[in-house]
């Protein structure tokens, strides 16, 4: 079933990682895949562009169907294999709404994390300002408090959208995993770090863990001074 699937991906990319978690949760092991390097610009190859004109990863193909956006690929896998593996989208409309909200809120958390952790990478040196970086840090701290509040409200041992593991966790965990990786102080998001510890050994997450993170257990301390 998975043999006619092809995934082009990059190690440590949250969008790629979430699709890989979804594939694991839906019991679709055995799919074909190709690990590419952003640094070597391998994602801009003709092979990828033939499937994804934007030359972005992940690029996912199932038979003749091409689904490139990570959210779309994850939702497609849940829809196409609804009765297989973990049920990632609940039937109840209210529960669905919370899952979808947390999924799309992930974009806010990821962007605010990138604005701090990779400020020096994205912003040319002549355009960098301490005041801008300070503001980015304040925005990230506010966002972390919001997510901590979500988990606090739902109670200890909760997933992002309730008592069950859902697509919200598939989508968001790869972003949350960057905080301990980049040495974010635990006191800035204690509930998120409890959540991280609860999920990091889940089989689907361990099976898809970024290989270069395994090779280098300590990431850079880009969030140390948050």
Q: Is residue 154 part of a domain?
A: yes
CATH of the domain at 23: 3.40.30.10
Q: Check whether residue 124 and residue 72 sit in a common domain.
A: no
Q: What is the mean pLDDT of residues 186-195?
A: 97
> How far are the Cα atoms of 8, 114, 139, 178 from residue 58, in angstroms, in the given order?
6, 18, 28, 18
Q: Check whether residue 73 and residue 171 sit in a common domain.
A: no
Q: Check whether residue 117 and residue 201 sit in a common domain.
A: yes
Q: How far apart are CA 3 and CA 7, in angstroms?
A: 11
Q: How far apart are CA 35 and CA 33, in angstroms?
A: 7
Is the Cβ–Cβ distance between 119 and 188 less than 8 Å?
no
Q: How far apart are CA 69 and CA 182, in angstroms?
A: 26
Q: Mind listing the pLDDT tens digit for each residue in 72-124?
A: 999 999 999 999 999 999 999 999 999 999 999 999 999 999 999 998 777 88
Token pair, residue 169, equals 């966790």
Q: What is the mean pLDDT of residues 214-224?
A: 91
Q: Check whether residue 98 and residue 199 sit in a common domain.
A: yes
Q: Check whether residue 100 and residue 201 sit in a common domain.
A: yes
Q: Check whether residue 187 and residue 116 sit in a common domain.
A: yes
Domain count, the chain: 2
Which contacts qualify for 206-209: CB closer than 8 Å, 24 or more apart?
207/20, 207/24, 207/29, 208/17, 208/20, 208/21, 208/23, 208/24
Q: Mind listing the pLDDT tens digit for each residue in 166-177?
A: 999 999 999 999
pLDDT score of 109: 98
Q: Check whether residue 98 and residue 190 sit in a common domain.
A: yes
* Structural domain boundaries, residue 32: 2-80
Q: Check whether residue 200 and residue 105 sit in a common domain.
A: yes
Stated pTM of the model: 0.95
Q: Check whether residue 57 and residue 127 sit in a common domain.
A: no
CATH of the domain at 111: 1.20.1050.10
- Paired strand residues for 12: none
pLDDT score of 127: 80
Q: Check whether residue 69 and residue 121 sit in a common domain.
A: no
């Amino acid at each position: 079933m998975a043999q006619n699937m092809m995934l082009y991906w990059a190690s440590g990319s949250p969008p790629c990682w979430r699709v890989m978690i979804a594939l694991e949760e839906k019991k679709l092991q055995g799919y074909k895949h190709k690990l590419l390097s952003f640094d070597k610009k391998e994602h801009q190859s003709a092979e990828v562009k033939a499937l994804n004109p934007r030359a972005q990863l992940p690029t996912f193909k199932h038979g003749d169907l091409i689904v490139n956006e990570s959210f779309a690929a994850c939702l497609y896998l849940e829809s196409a294999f609804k009765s297989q593996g973990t049920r990632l989208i609940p039937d109840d409309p209210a529960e669905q709404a919370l899952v979808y909200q947390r999924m799309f809120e992930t974009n806010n958390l990821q962007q605010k994390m990138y604005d701090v952790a990779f400020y020096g990478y994205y912003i040319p040196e002549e355009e960098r300002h301490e005041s801008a970086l300070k503001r980015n840090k304040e925005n990230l701290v506010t966002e972390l408090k919001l997510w901590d509040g979500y988990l606090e409200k739902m109670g200890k041992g909760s997933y992002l959208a309730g008592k069950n593991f859902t697509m919200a966790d598939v989508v968001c965990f790869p972003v949350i995993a960057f905080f301990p990786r980049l040495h974010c102080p635990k006191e800035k998001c204690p509930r998120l770090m409890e959540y991280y510890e609860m999920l990091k050994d889940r089989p689907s997450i361990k099976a898809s863990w970024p290989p270069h993170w395994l090779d280098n257990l300590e990431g850079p301390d880009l969030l140390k001074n948050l």
